[in-house]
Amino acid sequence: MNRDARVAIILLMKGIFYKSDNERAFFELVGNSYGAIIDYFKTIGLEVLVDENDGYAYLKNRVYEDESEALPKLIASRELSYKVSLLCIILRKKIAQFDMQNENEKAIISGEEILSNMSLYMDIQFNEVKAKREIEATIKKVEELGFFKKIRNSEDIYEIKSAIKSFVNVEFLDSLKEKVGVRM
């Protein structure tokens, strides 16, 4: 296995791997070394999901039909807080709108737009400062998940990453509606 393939493996282990992070390793992932990389992760119970069009890949636990073959889950499932889920939904809606209007540009959102959208669903009438701090903390958490990142040399402009489309899908929205009991 060549160096770029090993780099792709390491980047996948860190989280969502975007083509823009390392183009050579991404091409190795979807090209020559695809089979070897898939086999590597299969041995430890992981599946590689790749979206070549949007240029990202990530790992998820493999689903086994036969329980006797199942391995312990390597990637822990974690439940997202209401605020993190809310921000993910806002980002998903924004990228969907952007995809319909602009084909070759990056989807962006400002911190101010995030603040105004989230405040619609939060009770901030008594303590705006506390609510703003909570929203800023939520922004950091979602950024750590890899769904968006701050654009360099900007105060509070964020690029929404295309991988959010895979994670915030119909199943996610239905699950959230059931838990929260509201229409989105």
pLDDT for 103: 65
> Which residue did the predictor score with more confidence, 67 or 62?
62
pLDDT higher than threshold 90 for residue 50: yes
Question: In the structure encoding, which two tokens stand for residue 137, read together?
Answer: 């903390």
pLDDT higher than threshold 90 for residue 44: yes
Residues contacting 136, CB < 8 A, separation 6+: none
Q: Which architecture characterizes domain 82-180 according to CATH? A: Orthogonal Bundle (1.10)
Residues contacting 135, CB < 8 A, separation 6+: 83, 114, 115, 118, 119, 122
Tell me the angle at which helices 82-101 and 128-145 cross, rounded to the nearest 10 degrees.
70
pLDDT for 138: 92
pLDDT for 180: 57
- The pTM (predicted TM-score) of the whole model is 0.76
Chain segment 6-37, per-residue pLDDT in tens: 999 999 999 999 998 899 899 888 888 999 99
pLDDT higher than threshold 80 for residue 61: yes
Where do the structural domains in the chain lie, given as residue ranges?
Answer: 3-69, 82-180
Sheet strands (E) in 15-122: 17-18, 46-51, 56-61, 108-110
Average pLDDT, the chain: 85
